[in-house]
Amino acid sequence: GGEGGYFDHDEAHSGLQEREAIAALFDRWNEALATKNPAAVADMYGHDAVLLPTVSNEVRTTRAGIMDYFSTFLKLAPQGKVDQSTIRLLSPDVALHSGVYSFTLNPAEGETKLVQARFTFLYRKYNGRWLIAEHHSSAMPEQKPAGVEEMFDKWNAALQTGNPEIVADLYAPDGVLLPTVSNQVRTCRQGIVDYFSNFLKLKPYGTINKSVVREVSPGVAINSGVYTFKLTTPESGEVRDVRARYTFIYKQFDGKWFIAE
């Protein structure tokens, strides 16, 4: 009986290793994008691979077609990141990696954009080497409202100035603040400035661990999730991490996003 358990464990272990190898293929593909060389990217695809890309309606079924697509896409200096995904081994030689990824696009002219898309990579072993047999990518049905995701970074940057007035500038005129480390609800600019005068003494630096951004109606958006703050105790200089759930409600005024709550 003991031996059976041992083999089960071994099989699970090799399955895990195989999954990690599949996950690493995305990083290799992303590194190939960073070379800006379409041939290096095409090398990641099998000889009979099919590509259904995000930003083109043309299905690519040849190496030349795949290179042609990437020679245009690589001009945007894309850098990808998997937001959420699932890896399944369909057989010892076939694996599926699907989920949602985000691309930062940095065109030579124009501003940096974040594009989120759904993806499926079907991998097959060609002569013992995992390559992409099919790659399907499609834009998300609802795009995140432009500019909302960056609001947290703006707010965090305002915290780094140590100036409560600069932080308060990010709040709408009728903004409401329900802070983490105070039970008092702040409903006016002076109250918000007053709260941050104390909070900024802790030299807070925030990082989002997990977030969901969605537009609730035109000009109103929500960013909610979990963030961690590094706080420094003024007297001792001791640094601690505080993790909390958060919700920012943003409203647009004259085309600019502000924190409403």
Residue 174 corresponds to which tokens in the numbers above? 């009728």
User: For the segment 163-220, what is each residue's pLDDT rounded down to a tens digit?
Assistant: 999 999 999 999 989 876 677 889 899 999 999 999 999 999 999 988 888 887 778 8
Question: What does the pLDDT average to over 228-239?
Answer: 92
**pLDDT higher than 50, residue 74:** yes
Position 23 scores a pLDDT of 94
Position 162 scores a pLDDT of 95
Please state, in angstroms and rounded to a whole number, the distance separating the CA atoms of residues 132 and 94: 10
Q: pTM of this prediction?
A: 0.53
Helix (H, G, I), strand (E, B), or coil: what is residue 258? strand
Contact 117, 104 (CB under 8 A): no
User: For the segment 96-118, what is each residue's pLDDT rounded down to a tens digit?
Assistant: 999 999 999 888 887 888 888 88
Please state, in angstroms and rounded to a whole number, the distance separating the CA atoms of residues 256 and 167: 15
Question: What does the pLDDT average to over 60-80?
Answer: 94
Q: Which amino acid is at 92?
A: P
Reported confidence tier of residue 4, pLDDT bands at 50, 70, 90: very low
Please state, in angstroms and rounded to a whole number, the distance separating the CA atoms of residues 60 and 196: 54
Helix (H, G, I), strand (E, B), or coil: what is residue 250? strand
Please state, in angstroms and rounded to a whole number, the distance separating the CA atoms of residues 206 and 137: 32
Please give the order of strands across the beta sheet that includes 239-253: 205-217, 220-232, 239-253, 256-259
H or E segment and range at residue 96? strand 94-105
Position 58 scores a pLDDT of 86
User: For the segment 206-217, what is each residue's pLDDT rounded down to a tens digit?
Assistant: 999 888 888 877
**Strands (DSSP E) found in 142-254:** 205-217, 220-232, 239-253
Position 1 scores a pLDDT of 37
Residue 186 corresponds to which tokens in the numbers above? 């702040």
Instruction: Return the higher-pLDDT residue of 14 and 102.
Output: 102
Position 94 scores a pLDDT of 94
Position 9 scores a pLDDT of 43
Position 192 scores a pLDDT of 94
Please state, in angstroms and rounded to a whole number, the distance separating the CA atoms of residues 21 and 127: 16
Reported confidence tier of residue 154, pLDDT bands at 50, 70, 90: very high
How deeply is 45 buried, as exposed, middle or buried, from its count of CB atoms within 10 A (0-12, 13-18, 19+)?
buried
Reported confidence tier of residue 93, pLDDT bands at 50, 70, 90: very high
Position 149 scores a pLDDT of 83
Tokens 């042609």 belong to 68
Distances (CA, A) of 123 to 13, 29, 126: 20, 12, 9
Please state, in angstroms and rounded to a whole number, the distance separating the CA atoms of residues 196 and 180: 11
User: For the segment 15-40, what is each residue's pLDDT rounded down to a tens digit?
Assistant: 788 889 999 999 999 999 999 999 99
H or E segment and range at residue 87? strand 79-91
User: For the segment 110-151, what is each residue's pLDDT rounded down to a tens digit?
Assistant: 788 888 888 999 999 999 999 999 999 887 765 667 788 889
Position 146 scores a pLDDT of 76
Report which DSSP code applies to 200. G
